Amino acid sequence: MNKPSSTPGICRIDQPAKHNHGFFVRLRRRGKIHSAFFTDKKHGGRAPALAAAQEHHLQLAAMLGTAARMSRREWAELPRRKSRSGIIGVRHVVVRRGRRVRKYWMALWSPEPYVVARRWFSVRRHGAEKAKRLAIRARQAGLRSMK
């Protein structure tokens, strides 16, 4: 098992089957990932490859600046995958119990760390479009109330 690098953002890669040995530099800023690979062979050994990787990491960090820390609310609003609603944290739920089928729109958010809040809106009671709108509104109100 490789031991972690003393510099965050740099890791050792050893793949003997592919004759691939070196250090991988990765830095993420504003949603874009900047990466480079420094091979042992090209730099004349393991120590010079690490030194080149560390130098490159320092130059990238200086050029791109420090990473801005995102608030919990900003993190909650990041798009992660496609959804039917088009809104992160709002989803369509179908519950089947025996022969009964119940459809809902559900809003999810985290008002404080390690707590999940949910609101369910019945399609039978409100209709599909209104239930979806209510779930979207509940999600937005929940995000505004986040600590």
Query: In whole angstroms, what is the distance from residue 147 CA to residue 129 CA?
Result: 30
Q: How far apart are CA 38 and CA 6, in angstroms?
A: 16
SS3 141: helix
Q: What is the mean pLDDT of residues 31-57?
A: 92
Report pLDDT for 85: 72
- The single-letter DSSP state of residue 127 is -
Delimit the domains of the chain by residue range: 10-64, 72-144
The secondary structure of 67-89 as a DSSP string is PPPPPHHHHHHS--S--SSSSTT
The dihedral sign for the CA sequence 66, 67, 69, 70: positive
- Residue 1 in this model has a pLDDT that exceeds 60: no
Residue that has been written with the tokens 């390690």 in this structure: 114
Residues 6 or more apart whose CB falls under 8 angstroms from that of 4 comprise: 11
Over the stretch 89-144, which tens digit does the pLDDT of each residue have? 899 999 999 889 999 999 999 888 889 999 999 999 999 999 999 999 999 999 88
